[in-house]
């Protein structure tokens, strides 16, 4: 934790709202990116953001600097996201449209390869690959999905991920292994 | 080690999560085993395909989230005016409200301001209202005559029993208003970028973003690339965009790639560097790309190398 973040936390704990706002701004972009990529829905990501930082606001007085603020915050965020993913597993649904800088976009189209337009065969192959990837991701358990997201997209170390999820590094390693195994199996001939 | 054991280690190998000994085992095994080499290739293809589905957060969504949160924090009521701006912006803007008192200002108030804002204010003397007619500085005020005191020492008066001697520093809060392109205002904003408060640094860098043609601003922005706050770093990079060809700027951007920085900051630095090909940067990226931990940064570096017609990695 940098001395500056430390100072912001202490000031926010003492009731300084500007410090709280600055603290939020230090971390909120990565929190929103995590929620957006996991849930593939701007509305759900917005809910996660709001609930996570309100929990931080209400419980900041209890933060005792016995772990990094980043870990503490991500424990809150990952718990909320996992709840959302579990609810979705029950409902078996996933939003089809996502918000991008160019407006709403079908999530399948959001990773169209640029050069694919010139080559119909390649374009078809890419569409099929994307379809398989979405299928593979939906087959993961919420916890596998979370570990994979935090390691692959957020670049966090498995030791930190274990700490955030209240488990061991070994358990996080197993989750990552299972996640990649499942995806490789679903992708089959595409990889 | 058997193929089954190696297959279990391959995802961890890909993400750099193995011990050096385990990595060596995997390297040795895959060197001799075609099946495990194929699994390793599959892992890379999978990772590359997954990278392409990463979503970026739309900036308006982030701003909306922030506004909603701060409204909720302040008791459920929306802010009277949600500006999303920090104290420095509000400070500068608040001066508009004190503009009415400008007519009452005179040289003595200017002198008070010099004490309050110290060294940098000393350079403002020529720009103060009343000193140079038509100067860009519109107002400098001390609303409500606020004075802050810090007691430095307290002791009995050695010359008179029953009396005390107190030593204290006095600070007066002043409000200053002027155009962003005014060199005196810029000096204060540059000072703001060295403040302890990250909100002040953040707002100062945002305001100076289009003023990098000034040497002093450029130097400060280069310093800001090592700021601990990623928001300050990102805005400094944005401001340095027009100077992406400047050798000094490129040298510092190269240093950003070497240090443990935020992924977004590194990616932005790579983008600026890729706009102009030079051999030093190509060599640096080729050296760094293999050991970069973050997939996004590594892919960005690979793309930059391709754009600069360079091979990925050194052979």
Domains by residue range for chain A, with CATH: 1-94 (1.10.1740.10), 105-191 (1.10.10.10)
| Gap between the Cα atoms of B204 and A21, Å rounded | 17
Question: Taking Cα atoms as reference points, which of A138, A134, A92 lies closest to residue B55?
Answer: A134
* Contact between chains at A152 and B49 (C-beta distance less than 8 A): no
Closest-CA residue of A relative to B72 is: A54
More confident residue, A133 or A83: A83
> Residue A94 above 70 pLDDT?
no
Q: Examine residue B183 and state whether it is found in any structural domain, yes or no.
A: no
Token pair 């929190």 in the structure block, residue? A31
pLDDT-derived band of residue B261, with 50, 70 and 90 as boundaries?
confident
In B, which residues are within 8 Å of A26 by CB distance?
198, 229-231
B41 and B110 both lie in a single domain: no
Question: Where among B178, B212, B233 does a domain terminate?
Answer: B178
State the nearest Cα–Cα gap between A118 and chain B, in angstroms.
18
B107 and B34 both lie in a single domain: no
Interface test with B, best of A76, A105, A153 (most B CBs within 10 A): A153
In B, which residues are within 8 Å of A69 by CB distance?
none
* Mean pLDDT estimate for chain A: 82
Q: Examine residue B226 and state whether it is found in any structural domain, yes or no.
A: no
| pLDDT, tens digit, 9 for 90 and up, residues B283-304 | 888 888 877 878 888 888 888 8
* Mean pLDDT estimate for chain B: 75
Torsion angle of alpha carbons B185, B191, B192, B193, nearest 10°?
120
Q: Examine residue B126 and state whether it is found in any structural domain, yes or no.
A: yes
Per-residue pLDDT, averaged over B251-276, amounts to 86
| pLDDT, tens digit, 9 for 90 and up, residues B62-102 | 988 999 898 888 764 333 333 343 434 433 443 333 333 33
Model pLDDT, residue A88:
77
Interface test with B, best of A12, A18, A21 (most B CBs within 10 A): A21
> Residue A28 above 90 pLDDT?
yes
Question: Taking Cα atoms as reference points, which of A88, A81, A94 lies closest to residue A48?
Answer: A81
- For Cα atoms B256, B264, A86, give the angle at the middle one, nearest 5 degrees: 145
Closest-CA residue of B relative to A114 is: B52
Model pLDDT, residue B112:
34
More confident residue, B153 or A122: B153
> Residue A113 above 60 pLDDT?
no
Interstrand relation of B175-177 and B139-141 (parallel, antiparallel or unpaired): antiparallel
B95 and B161 both lie in a single domain: yes
CA distances from B165 to A54, B102, B154, B158, B160 (A): 49, 37, 6, 9, 10
Residue B176 bridge partners (DSSP): B140
More confident residue, B151 or A54: A54
CB A17 within 8 A of CB A24: no
ipTM reported for the complex surpasses 0.85: no
In B, which residues are within 8 Å of A187 by CB distance?
42, 46, 49
Per-residue pLDDT, averaged over B256-275, amounts to 85
Model pLDDT, residue A79:
94
State the nearest Cα–Cα gap between A27 and chain B, in angstroms.
9
B171 and B94 both lie in a single domain: yes
> Residue A110 above 60 pLDDT?
no
Question: Taking Cα atoms as reference points, which of B278, B203, B290, B205 lies closest to residue B248?
Answer: B278
Backbone angles phi, psi at B60, to 5 degrees: -65, -30
Question: Taking Cα atoms as reference points, which of A61, A56, A92 lies closest to residue A74?
Answer: A56
Give me the domain span that covers residue B112. 85-178
Q: DSSP letter at B176? A: E
Model pLDDT, residue B278:
83
* A186 CA to centre of own chain: 22
B94 and B14 both lie in a single domain: no
More confident residue, B196 or A164: A164
B41 and B89 both lie in a single domain: no
Question: Where among B154, B178, B202 does a domain terminate?
Answer: B178
| Gap between the Cα atoms of B201 and B227, Å rounded | 9
Domain count along chain B:
2
Interstrand relation of A97-100 and A103-106 (parallel, antiparallel or unpaired): antiparallel
Model pLDDT, residue B74:
76
């Amino acid at each position: 934790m940098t001395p500056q973040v430390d100072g912001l936390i202490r000031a926010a704990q003492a009731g300084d709202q500007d410090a709280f706002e600055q603290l939020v701004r230090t971390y909120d972009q990565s929190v929103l990116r995590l929620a957006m990529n996991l849930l593939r829905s701007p509305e759900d990501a917005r809910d996660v953001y709001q609930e996570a930082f309100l929990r931080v606001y209400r419980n900041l007085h209890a933060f005792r600097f016995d772990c990094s603020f980043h870990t503490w915050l991500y424990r809150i965020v990952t718990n909320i996201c996992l709840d959302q993913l579990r609810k979705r597993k029950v409902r078996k649904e996933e939003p089809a449209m996502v918000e991008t800088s160019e407006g709403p976009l079908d999530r399948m189209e959001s990773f169209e390869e640029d050069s694919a337009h010139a080559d119909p065969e390649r374009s078809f192959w890419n569409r099929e690959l994307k379809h398989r990837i979405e299928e593979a991701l939906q087959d993961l358990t919420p916890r596998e999905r979370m570990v994979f997201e935090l390691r692959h997209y957020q670049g966090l170390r498995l030791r930190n991920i274990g700490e955030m999820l209240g488990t061991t590094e070994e358990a996080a390693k197993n989750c990552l292994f299972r996640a990649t195994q499942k995806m490789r199996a679903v992708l089959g001939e595409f990889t | 080690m058997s193929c089954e054991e190696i297959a279990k280690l391959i995802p961890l190998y890909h993400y750099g999560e193995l011990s050096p000994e385990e990595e060596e085992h995997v390297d040795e095994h895959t060197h001799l085993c075609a099946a495990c080499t194929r699994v390793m290739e599959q892992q890379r293809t999978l990772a590359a395909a997954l990278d392409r589905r990463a979503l970026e957060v739309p900036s308006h969504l982030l701003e909306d989230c922030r506004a909603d949160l701060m409204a909720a924090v302040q008791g459920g009521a929306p802010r009277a005016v949600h500006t999303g701006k920090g104290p420095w912006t509000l400070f500068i803007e608040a001066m508009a409200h004190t503009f009415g008192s400008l007519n009452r200002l005179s040289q003595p108030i200017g002198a008070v301001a010099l004490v309050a804002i110290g060294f940098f204010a000393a350079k403002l003397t020529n720009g103060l209202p009343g000193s140079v007619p038509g100067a860009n500085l519109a107002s400098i005020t001390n609303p409500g005559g606020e004075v802050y005191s810090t007691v430095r020492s307290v002791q009995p008066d050695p010359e008179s029993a029953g009396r005390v001697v107190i030593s204290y520093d006095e600070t007066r809060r002043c409000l200053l208003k002027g155009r962003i392109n005014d060199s005196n205002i810029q000096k204060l904003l540059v000072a703001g970028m060295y403040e302890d408060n990250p909100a002040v640094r953040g707002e100062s860098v945002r305001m100076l973003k289009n003023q990098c043609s000034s040497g002093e601003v450029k130097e400060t922005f280069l310093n800001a690339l090592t700021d601990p706050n990623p928001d300050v770093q990102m805005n400094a990079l944005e401001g340095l965009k027009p100077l992406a060809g400047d050798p000094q700027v490129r040298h510092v951007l190269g240093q950003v790639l070497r240090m443990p920085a935020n992924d977004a900051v590194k990616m932005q630095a790579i983008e600026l560097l890729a706009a102009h090909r030079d051999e030093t940067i190509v060599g640096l990226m080729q050296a760094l790309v293999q050991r970069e931990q973050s997939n996004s940064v590594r892919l960005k570096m690979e793309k930059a190398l391709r754009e600069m017609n360079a091979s990925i990695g050194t052979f």
